[in-house]
Chains A and B, each alone.
Chain A
Amino acid sequence: GDSVTQMEGPVTLSEEAFLTINCTYTATGYPSLFWYVQYPGEGLQLLLKATKADDKGSNKGFEATYRKETTSFHLEKGSVQVSDSAVYFCALRDWGTGANNLFFGTGTRLTVIP
């Protein structure tokens, strides 16, 4: 079945540090991959997405590349800010199975300290 495994947190970084949050997936069909961000007390917001192998999604300085050979979609940012503190979720939608829902990882809490 489909699943997403992401790096357990929490992750604590100093401002301007480099961020990587690992995400790997298992899918039986043709997945699209997503990163969502959740700020305290709020719902999830789409951060970036990639729909096919070798696509790179990017937004607000965050990037992730869809790597089919390693079944990965790691999230990176070159210089984090305090405002990036949030929980980050990796997710996939598997078009090949006909499923209409997203499969989520468990989330990684990022705290950025000044």
Chain B
Amino acid sequence: DGGITQSPKYLFRKEGQNVTLSCEQNLNHDAMYWYRQDPGQGLRLIYYSQIVNDFQKGDIAEGYSVSREKKESFPLTVTSAQKNPTAFYLCASSMASEQFFGPGTRLTVL
């Protein structure tokens, strides 16, 4: 089945640690995205990539980093510089106008 997978579903991190969230898609989509979702707020764009080896900052990129070495993969690293990283993180991909979302990773900083 085609789709987007994110792992892990739940992730716990100690303050000061970097952590990497995985996002993989087998839809052959060129573009991929990372969003952050906080309670009572809409989705906010962290980073996006339109093609392999290229990516752009979104609205809230500070404290995050990404790579796009393969078309299928777009991992997100939450660094210790991100002051409030506890949130629900959603990955998406698109070919045309419609975006397809993964199931999300809930990150909690202890």
State in angstroms the CA–CA spacing of A101 and B97 once bound together.
9
Main secondary structure, interface of B, reads strand
State in angstroms the CA–CA spacing of A93 and B31 once bound together.
14
Given A100-B50, A101-B33, A106-B42: A43 and B101 interface contact (C-beta under 8 Å): yes
Residues of A within 8 A of B16 (CB): none
- Tell which of A4, A43, A46 touches B90, judged by Cβ atoms closer than 8 Å: A43
Q: Tell whether, in the assembled complex, residue A93 and residue B97 are in contact, meaning their CB atoms are under 8 Å apart.
A: yes
B102 contacts A by Cβ under 8 Å? yes
Proximity bits, B10-50, A CB within 8 Å = 1, else 0 = 00000000000000000000010100000011110100101
A residues sitting closer than 8 Å to B (CB atoms) are 4, 32, 34, 36, 41-46, 49, 51, 89, 93, 95, 100-102, 104-107
